Structure formats: structure tokens, C-alpha cells
A and B are shown apart, each in its own frame.
Chain A
């Protein structure tokens, strides 16, 4: 990283901050220098706020596509090294165009906002919820086991279907959402595009098979049962087998469980 030149003072007058201020003001943020705030602190605050703005979708307050993309790429790196199970969901509001057409774009925007805040409530703080574009959303769920992934998607689908969204006096709209999902290929450094493509294919399936449903890419239908594991290690003396890091009583259960999950996922 290039080193920054230290300057004894920052001359705020010499900086052209009007556009930045206008942007922050538009987002209902305090854009003025506060009494007693040093020029450096003030500038830092402006920059922090701008950074935050650049990652947010203005309409819904969710992460925007840019932020989504960077989180996705980071996930790929960590999956390649750790084999962690990360699920990407793509979600699309069903028949959104007809909402716009019959109730107007304002109503459409209100629906988008309601769905967005509902999505954000349905997931963990560590998950990333983004507006991917138009009426399409994306959720990245790190550390998400296959069964858990389906449960989350189902919760989202049901919660959205149960929403009654007020869009005008005496007019509430109900809507549904289609969800497609794919896990990052574990232990492999894939690309964000391929991953999105796989989730998108599942979303397409959910849409074409009737909407208001979930399609997740099937994880490998392969499991090693507890009975198999028991037999696998039953008569082997593991302490004798492994020299390094051998722990007395190191029964295979834990380690084997972990391995199975990875194979299953």
C-alpha cells in the first residue's frame, strides 16, 4: 500500500466536498462539520459514510451488487481453503411486473422494501443480504450445512408469503418469492460467475416449476452411516495407527463426523 504523506493540517476550504456532502445529506446523514470536530475526524467520517453508501442499495438499504460480489469472491477463497459449506440463494419476487403494472411503481418500490426488510430479518447477522437487481435478491450464508440451508430458504419463502404489504390506503398486497440455491464447490477455487450461474439455474427451475418454491442444487447423496463408521474403525487400534498427534481415546466419532459432513455437503 502506498504510504500517505503526513500533512500538518487539512484545509477543508481547499477541498471540494460539495458533492460528497450532498450525497450524505440525501441519505439523511449529518454532512456538516460538527462543533469541535477536527478536520481530520470530519473527513474520516465523510469517507466512512461514503464507503458505506457505495456498498448499499439506495432503495432497500440492503447490500448492493458491488458489495455482494466482493463477499461472494471472499467466500470462494475461504471455501477453497477450509472446505466450509457456503450457500448462495437467489430470490426473485413472483409476478413483480404485474404489481408494477396494476398498482404503479410506487407500490412496486414499497413491495421491494417490505421484502428486503423481511429477508434481512430471516437470516443471521453474519449472512449477507443483497439486492441483486430489479426484483431479484441474493443471500450468502456462510457456514451453512445442507439441511440448515433448506430450512432457512423455507422460512424465507413462508415469511414472504405471509406478508401483507400496505401500498396504499386500504390496499395491501400479498406476494410470493421463488428461491434457487447452490453451495460453493468445496475445496475448489471456483469462480463467482459459475457459482451464480448454478444458483440461477436452480432459480429458473423454481420459476418454471410453478413459482413460490425452493430449488437447491442437490448435494451429493452420499453418506457414511454411523454403523459403517463403527465398523470402519471398530477393530482398528487408532492409537497404534497414527503416531503424530495421537490422542488417547481419540475415538473416530468426531473426526469422522466432520469428514462425513464434508463428503455429504
Chain B
């Protein structure tokens, strides 16, 4: 809980202005755990692969990483080995079912769930090393406003905020966006509403979040925060089936409603955020 907002002797470093975000790096984050962040990361990666992108997903949820569970991959070499110098970066990258590459955190990463200078530098080194080799790097971050999450998000040029329509999820998403605005001077946050009950739900929520942020988020008047609604992922039994079977939905039932929604979000990303691969 070392917050970045109030510098202390311990995290003076961390309180400095975040590093310049890296292009093509997209952070997928949420205010609250359990809203489907990792599910979105993996399936969006697969959807981007279908559009011809070379994609890597990095498990940046060091505390409670579960991209491995979603993808049903339990490699011997993980990010942890790269951090500890036991393996080279290339050795820890492995192919995932949807045709993208993954870098999994590994269970030993809990030791790095606190943001020290060492963790920051190592993280930065790894991501800078990855960027030249991929069209898109997705960071599957942890939830909330811990310093590791905020740091991971600060490395990304774009933030995708996943929330469900539940009040707790929305409040936490709102709170997290407020921090991103205040601390990182973010001007754009892209919103994905997961488990939307009906069409239009997500857009209404995004508008509402924007409305409250306009009133309460302290921003530079010349650079207000703008939320962009990326799409809704509808409630879909296929999602649950895929998660329970630990299969990638975009690989098994890409045509289901949730799959179509994710394809559409990938399409929007292609049009607005990620330059077409050469």
C-alpha cells in the first residue's frame, strides 16, 4: 500500500513523474478484482491476432497473477526467472492457444509485488526489450491502485479499464480513473463494460462516469479527461464454459455473442489506437 500520491522516504523515487509511456503498449486494468480483466486480455489478444497483429500479453499482476490459469499454461520458465536472472527474456516467452505470445508471472513474483527501484528497472527493461518485437504488447495488470499497478499502467500509451455494471466495480473503476488522472495526467481512458445485461448498458455507464469525472476529477482545464467507450461484452454462457474448461473462448467459440463483442473491440482498436502492421 505504498501510495504514490504522498512521497515518503521509502518511495520518493516512485513519486516522481511517471516515465514516458511506450507506444503500442496497452494496459488492461480494473478498479476491482474479478471483473474479467484477464479474460479480456487473453481474448482481446486472440482477436488482435486474427486481425494480423503480432501480440504479446504480459502478466503484470504480480501479486495474484492468473493468466496461467485462464490459458491453462504452466511453464517451467517464467517472468520470475527473468527477474532473478535465471533465464533470458526470450526463454520465458511462450505461445498461447490464440496465436499470441505470453510472458507469465510465475508464482515467485509475489516477492516483487512491492514496487522497489529494482522491480521498476527490471520491468522497464523487460517491456522495452519486448516492444520492438511485437505490434502490440498487452499488460494484464492487477486491480486497483497499488503502486505496482499504477507503475505498470504508466508504461502504457493506452489504458483499457474493464468494469462490470455492478456498483462496487463502477465505484472502484471511477476511483482508479481519478488516480490515473491526478497522478499520471491521463487524458484518455478507454472503457470496456463486461457482463453487460443489455445493449446500451455500457455506453450509459461510460457517460455517467464521464459526467461525474467532469465534476470531481481535478484536471488541467486545457487537458480534461476523456473516457472512450470501447464496447460492451454481453453476459454469455460461453464465457463461463470457456473459463471453466480453461479454454480460450476466442479459440473455441469465437462466434458467440461475447466473442463477437471482443472482435468488435479489436476492430475499434485497429481503427483508433494501433497503427496497422506493415
Contacts and interface: CB of A to CB of B under 8 A. Distances in A.
A255 B198 contact: no
Given A241-B165, A242-B197, A205 B9 contact: yes
Please give me the 3 A-B residue pairs with the lowest Cβ-Cβ distance, nearest first: A188-B63, A252-B167, A241-B165
Contacts of A7: none
A165 B76 CA distance: 59
Contact of B3 (A191, A194, A218): A218
B2 A259 contact: no
Interface string B1-36: 111011011100000000000000000000111000
B197 A243 contact: yes
A194 B114 CA distance: 8
B167 A263 contact: no
Given A217-B2, A222-B175, A240-B198, A256 B208 contact: no
Nearest to B109: A189
Contact of B145 (A80, A225, A263): A263
B136 to A, nearest CB: 27
A163 interface: no
Contact of B208 (A80, A221, A235, A260): A235
A222 B5 contact: yes
B118 interface: no
Interface stretch (B84-92, B209-217, B247-255): B209-217
Nearest to A265: B1
A229 B208 CA distance: 11
Contacts of A242: 165-166, 197
A260 B144 CA distance: 11
A231 B211 contact: yes
Interface residues of B, number: 49
- Bin the interface of chain A by size: 35 or more
A17 to B, nearest CB: 43
B178 interface: yes
A120 to B, nearest CB: 27
A259 B110 contact: no
Nearest to B167: A252
Contact of A220 (B5, B33, B113): B5
B10 A187 contact: no
23 contacts: A184-B1, A185-B1, A187-B146, A188-B63, A188-B110, A191-B110, A191-B111, A198-B2, A218-B6, A220-B3, A221-B6, A222-B178, A228-B174, A228-B216, A229-B171, A232-B167, A238-B165, A241-B165, A241-B196, A242-B165, A242-B197, A244-B195, A256-B167
A243 B235 contact: yes
Interface in A192-226: 194, 198, 201, 205, 217-225
Contact of A232 (B113, B170, B196): B170
A258 B186 CA distance: 26
Interface in B173-204: 174-176, 178-179, 195-198, 201, 204
B168 interface: yes
A256 B212 contact: no
Given A185-B63, A224-B171, A232 B33 contact: no
A217 B2 CA distance: 8
A219 B172 contact: no
A263 B145 CA distance: 8
A209 to B, nearest CB: 11
Most B-side CB within 10 Å, residue of A224, A236, A252, A259: A259
Given A189-B63, A219-B1, A263 B110 contact: no
